[in-house]
Amino acid sequence: MSESIENKILLKIKKARRGSLFFTEDFVRLGTSKAISKALERLVEAQEVTRIARGIYARLNTDPILGEIKPTTEDIAKAIAKRDKARIIPTGTLALNALGLSTQVPMNAVYLTDGAARKINLGKRSILFKKTAPKNLATIGKISSLCIQALKEIGKENVTEKEKEIIIKHLKTEDAYRLEHDIRLAPEWIRIIMKEALKK
């Protein structure tokens, strides 16, 4: 019985491209949750799959020099958001890092979400989902969302001319419709900086 569940799970994982993330509930049709957990445990022991975090598994990509390539924090956060049908926006140091405003790679990646608030432990790293009001997730541009969060992290009194320049340069690559939409959602002092990106 369990052997066949194991094989079915492995077959499903092997059909996906390497590096794809799977959750325990992706195999819910194959047996009871206890049987699925046991089967996944055995597949991890057999080194057929890798446990990324509690309830999250993958068949890792491999590089001839680097060896196994683990999924990024962003990959994991996006997979969880997709599963939960939730929206997420990177905040704080994560947003600064994504825009090249900080070289610090945060050990704890913090995302705003309209899904459940939770913490995912990834060994030394972690992902924290913070529940927020829907209006804080109403932005539609990837770059403009990051810029708003980065500026909030820096703070009105601390933002330098150099940081403004970098942010405006990034915003100029954002789709104009998305940028105009998101400007209306930003605090007034951030709006002023963002509007600079619309000037020709």
Tens-digit pLDDT profile for residues 21-36 = 999 999 999 999 999 9
Distance, CA of 106 to CA of 149 (rounded, Å): 15
The Cα-based distances of 190 to 13, 120, 156, 193 in angstroms read 45, 31, 8, 5
Q: What share of the chain is helix, strand, coil (3-state, %, to 5)?
A: 50, 20, 30
Please give the Cα distance from 119 to 198 (Å, whole number). Answer: 38
pLDDT, averaged across the chain:
92
pTM for the structure as a whole = 0.84
Per-residue pLDDT, 103: 85
Mean pLDDT of 43-66: 92
Q: What is the mean pLDDT of residues 1-9?
A: 78
CATH of 2-67, one of 1.20.120, 1.10.150, 1.20.58, 1.10.10: 1.10.10
pLDDT tens, 94-119?
999 999 999 887 888 999 999 999 99
**Which residues, at least 6 apart from 81, have a Cβ–Cβ distance to it below 8 Å?**
87, 88, 111, 113, 115
Torsion of CA 113, 114, 115, 118, to 10 degrees: 40
pLDDT interval class at 1 (50, 70, 90): very low
Q: Provide the pLDDT confidence category of residue 3 given band limits of 50, 70 and 90.
A: low
Weakest-pLDDT range from 2-6, 33-37, 160-164, 169-173: 2-6
Beta bridge partners, 127, equal 109, 120
- Domain boundaries along the sequence of the chain: 2-67, 72-200
- Neighbouring-strand partners of residue 111: 90, 129
* Residue 61: pLDDT over 90: no
Residues 52/21, Cβ–Cβ less than 8 Å: yes
